[in-house]
A and B are shown apart, each in its own frame.
Chain A
Amino acid sequence: MSDLNVMTAAEMAATKAAVMDQVPGPEIQGQSPLHHADLDSLAKVGPKQGGVHLREHKLLGHLTLRLNPENDDQLAAAERVLGVALPLQPLTSVESGSYSVRWMSPDEWLILVPGLEAFDVESKFRDEMGGHYSLVNSSGGSTVLELSGPDVVELLKRCTSIDLHPKLFPVGKVVSTVFAKSSAIIRRTGEHSFELVIRRSFSDYIWLWLQETSREFGLVVKA
């Protein structure tokens, strides 16, 4: 049996996956799973002061990459595409311009890119990388919330059992965990700011949960 990770250029070309551009053009208006909440209007008319700030980063490109972390050729190919090496340390993340890469498991990374670039980035991976790997555009499956403000840690303590002390949860750390009985990928982006990647089917529930849970701090929706 041939080793999928040791292939000639011709063998690599033959393994090229069928790719399809799932990204509608900019002329089609996309709707996030929180479209019905109309966060833009809430940002205009809602409170301007409060302990927790929420902003949705909607319609980003979400790419799930899986490969063997011991395959140096594939790691190098990923670095050529992303402009930064994949984080190999557990629970870490890296950013490169408008791209961000999260360690999800020893052989899995979640890459977020601007929504309209998802297919370009995917195509670059197909061109650069050979052998046995998987790249899936999962953009439609999740959305991203940015939570910040002076009380954001207090809010998150009410949602997850993860220890958020800066010593144990420094900027850049990323965990996939239980969040308000649903799940979330939580990444610290600053002392008082976090990014949550949440499932689209749970986004309304989490939006309702966050409104309820942040009541004591005051919630400011930002556009």
Chain B
Amino acid sequence: MFHIYCPHCAEYREEEEFHAAGQAHIARPLDPEACSDKEWGEYMFFRKNPRGIHHELWVHAAGCRKFFNITRDTQSYEIKEVYKIGEKPSVVAE
């Protein structure tokens, strides 16, 4: 079980209060009409699956119901940091 710090509630809560919502920082193409099928397909469907540092979107579903980001090591499961939407991660893969 993860013990996750919610940056909005400002305290740790059990994992059962949260849902993972996939990879973070996926920018929607500014002009979808101008996208090739490949570009649009990559935006819609293709996700990273790294061994190591991964930036993820989570939502505090049973709590404040806000989304935020987690940087997590997929190998050790260690949560490296938690940061709000719009902020940049300080822990990044080399």
Q: Indicate if B33 sits at the interface (CB-CB under 8 A).
A: no
Q: Closest chain A residue to B8 by CB distance?
A: A106
Query: B9 touches which one: A91, A108, A161 (CB < 8 A)?
Result: A91
The reply to whether A105 and B8 form a contact with Cβ atoms under 8 Å apart is yes
Verify B62–A90 contact, CB threshold 8 A.
Answer: no
The reply to whether A178 and B16 contact each other, CB–CB distance below 8 Å, is: yes
Q: Which of B10, B11, B14, B62 contacts A176 (CB 8 A)?
A: B62
Minimum Cβ distance to chain A for residue B8 (Å): 5
Contact B64–A176 (Cβ < 8 Å): yes
Partner of A161, one of B8, B14, B65, B66: B14
Docked CA distance A161–B65 (Å): 18
* Binary contact readout B1-41 vs A (1 if CB under 8 angstroms, 0 otherwise): 00000001111011011000000000000000000000000
Q: Is the CB of A106 within 8 A of B62?
A: no
Separation of A183 and B66 alpha carbons in the complex (Å): 16
Q: Is B50 an interface residue (CB 8 A)?
A: no
Complex Cα distance, B11 from A91, in Å, reads: 9
Q: How many contacting A-B pairs (Cβ < 8 A)?
A: 37
**A90 to B17, Cβ gap below 8 A?**
no
The answer to whether A175 has its CB under 8 Å from any CB of chain B is: yes
Determine the interface band of chain B, counting residues with CB < 8 A from chain A: 10 to 19
Tell me the bound Cα distance from A106 to B11 in angstroms.
14
Within 8 A of A (CB), among B62-81: 62-66
Contact A177 B8 (CB under 8 A): no
Complex-state Cα separation, A177 to B62, whole angstroms: 5
Residues of B within 8 A of A177 (CB): 13, 17, 62-63
A198 within 8 A of B: no
Residue numbers in A under 8 Å from B13 (CB-CB): 161-162, 177
Query: What is the minimal beta-carbon distance from A164 to any residue of chain B, in angstroms?
Result: 13
Chain B residues positioned under 8 Å from A176 (CB to CB): 62-65
Chain B residues proximal to chain A, CB less than 8 Å: 8-11, 13-14, 16-17, 62-66
- Known contacts A161-B13, A176-B64, A177-B13, then 16 further A-B pairs from the complex at CB < 8 Å, ordered by chain A residue: A90-B9, A90-B64, A91-B9, A105-B8, A105-B63, A105-B64, A105-B65, A106-B64, A108-B64, A161-B16, A162-B13, A175-B63, A176-B63, A177-B62, A178-B16, A183-B62
Which residues of A line the B interface, CB within 8 A? 90-91, 104-106, 108, 161-162, 175-178, 183
